[in-house]
């Protein structure tokens, strides 16, 4: 069985190959290809989210904490730096000590995340999110394709 590093390298290689093809046909700007490369590389880690102690799971919840924190900081007016730090600590604590244990309890490693239905769900969620974020249809579909290729690379490696 391959480890975290091997899975990440495999998804990086496939994303790099896909990015090269996209650049060769000049379909979208370079900066967007770079973003797609990152998305494709990280999507190779998605199948391991159901492993309770995986690097992928810890990374996901750290990124989720950071994203929620950024949304809160940018959405509300705070009167002091202390309020900001208290909010950040509460968000981190809630996500890591309330939501993450529930997620770990509800998932089984090599269970649903290693199925074709999970691939379809993640790819369609990516497409939906990209459209919701007002990506062009080309960029939205390419985002979904990168996730598909990265995810399938991980499941097969």
The answer to whether the predicted template modeling score (pTM) of the entire model surpasses 0.75 is no
Cα gap 94→90, rounded to integer Å: 6
Contacts of 83 (CB under 8 A, 6+ apart): none
Domain ranges of the chain: 1-52+109-157, 55-106
* Tens digit of each residue's pLDDT (9 = 90 or more) over 74-123: 778 889 999 999 999 999 999 889 988 887 777 666 666 677 888 898 89
How many separate helices (H) and strands (E) can be counted in the chain? Answer: 7, 0
Closest by Cα among 113, 100, 145 to 127? 145
């Amino acid at each position: 069985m391959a480890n975290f590093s091997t899975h990440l390298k495999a998804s990086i290689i496939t994303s790099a190959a896909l990015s090269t093809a996209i650049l060769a046909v000049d379909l979208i700007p370079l900066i967007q290809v770079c973003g797609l490369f990152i998305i494709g590389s990280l999507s190779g880690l998605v199948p391991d989210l159901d492993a309770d102690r995986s690097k992928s799971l810890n990374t996901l919840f750290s990124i989720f904490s950071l994203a929620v924190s950024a949304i809160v900081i940018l959405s509300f007016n705070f009167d002091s730096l202390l309020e900001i730090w208290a909010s950040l600590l509460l968000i981190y604590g809630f996500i890591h000590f309330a939501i993450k244990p529930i997620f770990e309890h509800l998932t089984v490693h090599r269970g649903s995340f290693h199925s074709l239905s999970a691939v379809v769900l993640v790819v369609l969620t990516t497409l939906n999110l990209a459209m919701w974020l007002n990506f062009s249809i080309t960029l939205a579909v390419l985002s979904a394709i990168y996730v598909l290729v990265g995810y399938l690379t991980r499941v097969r490696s």
